[in-house]
Structure 1
Amino acid sequence: MGSFSIWHWLVVLVIIALVFGTKKLRNVGEDLGGAIKGFKKGMKDAQTDEQPEAVTQKVQDTTTIDVQAKEKQDT
């Protein structure tokens, strides 16, 4: 009695379908799928937002000018 057989689960699914109706269950599935897609897109956007900062720092590091070296070249 500890575990349910496949027949128990089928009966439970049929009862749920009769109570809520297939249209509501389909809407719940679509909403859940949309939420998962939105979450994945947000995670991807968060990762791409972090990358430009690192690239900007590298560009700034390469454009620094050594003032002492420039003064030595002028004299």
Structure 2
Amino acid sequence: MGSFSLVHWVVLILVVILLFGRGRISDLMGDFAKGINSFKKGLADGDTPASTPTTAPPPQVTNTGTTPVQPVADEVRR
């Protein structure tokens, strides 16, 4: 009484295919697989130690003239 027979599963699969179409289901499964791969890649990236910096340090500014070099502010705060 609590389980479906083979005929019930076949009818259910046919209804799902008719509602969504074959192309839509394959697109959904492709997106689902990309999500799983991205999740696994994120887990693998989280396991590696972050000993090397991901960005290069800013270049050093040397003063060859007589006037001192002033740092340039990115934004002006008032």
With the shorter chain as reference, the TM-score category is: 0.5 to 0.7
Q: How many residues align?
A: 52
The two structures, once aligned, show a CA RMSD in angstroms of 1.6
What is the rounded CA distance, in whole Å, between the counterparts of 1:28 and 1:49 in structure 2? Answer: 34
What is the rounded CA distance, in whole Å, between the counterparts of 1:48 and 1:10 in structure 2? Answer: 46
After superposition, residues 26-65 of structure 1 pair within 5 angstroms as 26-49=26-49, 52=51
Residues 1:14 and 2:18 aligned together: no
Higher helix share: 1
Q: Spell out structure 1 runs of 4+ moving beyond 2 A.
A: none
What is the rounded CA distance, in whole Å, between the counterparts of 2:43 and 2:23 in structure 1? Answer: 30
TM-score using structure 2 length: 0.61
TM-score using structure 1 length: 0.63
